[in-house]
Amino acid sequence: MDVTVCICTHNRPRYVRDCIAGLNRQVPDLGGFAILLVDSGSTGSVPAELAVIAASAPNIRLIRLEQAGVSLARNAAAHAAATRFIAYIDDDAIPAPDWIATIHRALSDAGGSAAVIGGRILPRWEAPLPSWWPPSLRGVLSIIEHEGQGEYRSSALPTGLEPYAANMIVDAQALLRSGGFGGTLGRHGTALLSDEDVQLACKLQDQGFSVRYDSRITVYHQIQAQRLNPVWLLNRLFWQGASTVLTRRTLGYHRAVWHELPRRVLVGLLYAPTALLPRRSTRLLELRWRHAYAIGFVRTALGWQATRAAARAHPR
């Protein structure tokens, strides 16, 4: 089964070079594969740099979008791909040398029935993970370390394990027929909206498609040193709270939002005094990240327009 690799990027040519270098090291030689490099509204000299990168190999095709947004970029790749399956990889991820070969093996094992196969994402640290970082929050750095295979949201996998588009193979036609990645979610500049990949997987699974995890498909995510600070972490958790509400409502799980709302209100009130601590402080982070998540959840549940705020954070 032929696969097109998709790399979506915004102002990060250095990471793109690392990602493509990893793709150039794929073994065994499977006769080549196409790469779609989607420039998601990069600015300054970056579009020219990406054009040079794309011209460095005959299998790379560059697509330029004037409007930034990772969901828009991924959907554009689905429209442009000439193969049934797209292997999405983040620009700051480096594929294992057998990544393409393992994708083919996993698709073959699934008998062509899987609409989504999520893979393992291991960290490659630009700086050591600080000792104060809550162990339960490694996942917010797009890390998936579970070993095994199985259907998401089943007893075969740990509760809460979800696919990330940093390493995710998708049936392009199933994606497009379902409406694609939600354009209201995904990164917008400094606004860390997320779950567009989780939303897509749940939507396809609810429609009866097989949505699987296979840890044999591995990439190494370059964890940026600038993210390893309390300000980024609290910002990330605030937007995750908002993303959770948006995802549930998009999927029609309205009752789940209202069921959880009283608990998030209580957490927000109980831990409100922690907001008086300086944002860069590492004190009481276990309480502060829960407060940040609760505030994002509650505000969005009660009508705050998170997607409009995200768009303002990265205007056209």
Chain segment 307-316, per-residue pLDDT in tens: 666 655 544 3
- Taking residues 243-255, what's their average pLDDT? 92
What are the tens digits of pLDDT across the range 11-41? 999 999 999 999 999 987 656 799 999 999 9
Residue 315's pLDDT is: 43
Q: In whole angstroms, what is the distance from residue 288 CA to residue 234 CA?
A: 7
pLDDT at 259 over 80: yes
Q: Where are the alpha helices (DSSP H) in 207-284?
A: 230-250, 254-270
Q: Are 300 and 241 in contact (CB under 8 A)?
A: yes
In the chain, where the domains are located: 3-226, 230-313
Provide φ and ψ at 203, rounded to 5°: -60, -45
pLDDT at 184 over 80: no
- Taking residues 100-119, what's their average pLDDT? 93
Collapsing DSSP to helix, strand or coil, 247 comes out as helix
pLDDT at 222 over 50: yes
pLDDT at 292 over 60: yes
Please give the structure tokens belonging to residue 269. 């009130």
Residue 183's pLDDT is: 61
Residue 185's pLDDT is: 56
280: buried, middle or exposed (CB in 10 Å: 19+, 13-18, 0-12)? exposed
- Taking residues 46-74, what's their average pLDDT? 94
Residue 25's pLDDT is: 93
Residue 273's pLDDT is: 97
According to DSSP, the residues that pair with 188 across neighbouring strands are 191
- Report pTM: 0.91
Strand 60-65 to strand 93-95: parallel, antiparallel, or no bridges (unpaired)?
Answer: unpaired
| Percentage above 70 pLDDT, the chain | 92
Residue 6's pLDDT is: 98
CATH topology of domain 3-226: Spore Coat Polysaccharide Biosynthesis Protein SpsA; Chain A (3.90.550)
Residue 106's pLDDT is: 95
- Taking residues 252-279, what's their average pLDDT? 96
Q: Are 182 and 71 in contact (CB under 8 A)?
A: yes
The rounded mean pLDDT for the chain is: 91
Please give the structure tokens belonging to residue 117. 């196969």
